[in-house]
Amino acid sequence: MELSLRTVREVMGLDPDIRLGLVLERAARRDHRLAATVCSLAAAEGHRMGTLGTALLDVERARRDEHERLVALVRREGPADVLKGTALQAYYPPGVLRTSRDVDLLVPDEDDLWAAVAAVARERPVDEARVSMLESDGHRHWAVALNWPSPESDLDPVYAAEFLSAPFVGNSTTVPLRPRWPANPLVAHLLLIAEELFQQPLRGRDVVDVAVLADAMSERDVADLHRDAAHWMLAPEVVEALTRVNAVPGLATATSRTLARELGAAAGRERERRSAAAGAGGAGAGTAAVVHYGFPLGPALSSPTVVVEQDADMTVVRCPVGGYLMVDTLSVPLELARAAVDRHPGAVLPG
């Protein structure tokens, strides 16, 4: 595998002779997120960086360093796995940066998760928090996102951390929530990229991520991927991701081609399972997750630990970052919001 400006151009569908400034402009878009990779490759390949290039690399390195500090802060509260992000940087060639806007952390234990949320909220100037509660097979899971301004510049994207108690949420219909994290971290990260296909198409950065992971695979990793892609019900998405890699001549390898071919049968079986599950009206191998979105009720309802107050009328979550009325849609019935405010002294509606 060759990770170079040439192959990055191929990933984005750009002509090989298009000037570097336009490559960077395209790389910075949301559908690619390859700006840091382009800048660091440009430096490695001897291009003139100037003030702009140096500043962009400095900002990306500062963000990477802050992400590492955040991971250390969270792990002081309990065990946590980094989902993609800085963990994938280890698979990139030396000196080549991976663009990472936020840190996603898997914290399976509920108490540890909320302790980590509280620690980050205490140590960083958090100005936005989002809380979702997921229910599946009688178990409760959490997704909590915290945002705060960049310490570097008001022009820089916000810093963010997301805390999850389950890594694989499924597609809400035929693929259930799967709470376990695969034992092989390389395979786990590849499966996470595949899982994201339930929400959005692959970005340019995702294609590069899959390529560097496939290139790093040992025979043991290949065997683990065969097993885990089927067990985590993601063989079709893994094949799709590998097929995208194989469409880029500079990224395709014998391993990526062989995997895409050999996983085809498992992908077919998984598609058949999903079709049968859809016909039966369920996820088939588990219960599809029910997501409850948190509507903020203000900091006055905060609690040092998580408290779920639930009755026939409403569910309110109190946690270290405030109180939240849990609803099943992104729009909140006005009557329900007013009832929550009336019931909970100190609660306020946003804006």
| Closest to 4 (Cα-Cα) out of 61, 55, 33, 44 | 44
What residues contact 240, with CB distance under 8 A and at least 6 apart? 194, 197, 202
The number of angstroms, rounded, from the C-alpha of 145 to the middle of its chain's C-alpha atoms is 11
Residue 230 resides in a domain:
yes
Q: Does residue 7 lie within any of the structural domains?
A: yes
- How far is it, in rounded angstroms, from Cα 70 to Cα 101? 13
The answer to the question of residue 56 being in a domain is no
> Considering its fold, how many domains does the chain have in total?
4
Which amino acid belongs to residue 71? Answer: V
Whether 278 and 311 share a structural domain: no
Residue 286: what pLDDT? 63
In whole angstroms, how large is the CA radius of gyration of the chain?
22
CB 34 within 8 A of CB 12: yes
Per-residue pLDDT, 282: 64
Domain shared by 121 and 147, yes or no: yes
Check residue 155 and give its pLDDT.
Answer: 87
**Domain range for 251:** 179-288
| Same-domain pairing of 81 and 25 | no
Give a yes or no: residue 107 inside a domain.
yes
- Among 120, 141, 166, which residue terminates a domain? 166
pLDDT tens digits for the chain (351 residues)?
Answer: 999 999 999 999 999 999 999 999 999 998 899 999 999 999 999 999 999 999 999 999 999 999 999 999 999 999 999 999 889 999 999 999 998 989 999 999 999 999 999 999 999 999 999 999 999 988 999 999 999 999 888 888 999 999 999 999 999 899 999 999 999 999 999 999 999 999 999 999 999 999 999 999 999 999 999 999 999 999 999 999 999 999 999 999 999 999 999 999 999 999 999 999 998 876 665 667 899 999 999 999 999 999 999 998 899 999 999 999 999 988 898 999 999 999 998 999 887
Look at residue 172 and tell me if it is in a domain. Answer: no
- CATH code at position 161: 3.30.460
Which of 108, 137, 166 corresponds to the end of one domain? 166
In a domain, 136, yes or no: yes
Strands (DSSP E) contained in 68-112 are: 81-82, 103-106
Is residue 147 located within the same domain as residue 80? yes
Q: pTM here? A: 0.93
Residue 324 and residue 277 share a domain? no
Bridge partners, residue 325, by sequence: 295, 316
pLDDT for the residue numbered 283: 61
Quick one: 281 and 329 in the same domain? no
Whole-number Å distance between alpha carbons of 259 and 191: 13
Tell me if 38 is assigned to some domain.
yes
Nearest to 26 by CA among 43, 12, 42: 12
In the 8-state DSSP scheme, what is residue 198? G
User: Are residue 41 and residue 73 in the same domain, yes or no?
Assistant: no
Indicate whether 300 and 280 sit together in one domain: no
**pLDDT number for residue 193:** 98
Determine contact, residues 33/204, Cβ cutoff 8 Å: yes
Helix (H, G, I), strand (E, B) or coil at 307: strand
Under 8 Å CB-to-CB from 65, ≥6 apart: which residues? none
Whether 348 maps to a domain, the answer reads: no
Say whether both 253 and 284 belong to one domain: yes
Q: Are strands 322-327 and 290-298 parallel, antiparallel or unpaired?
A: antiparallel
40 and 18, same structural domain? yes
Amino acid at residue number 81? D
Q: Are residues 272 and 309 in the same domain?
A: no
Residues 300, 284, single domain; the answer is no
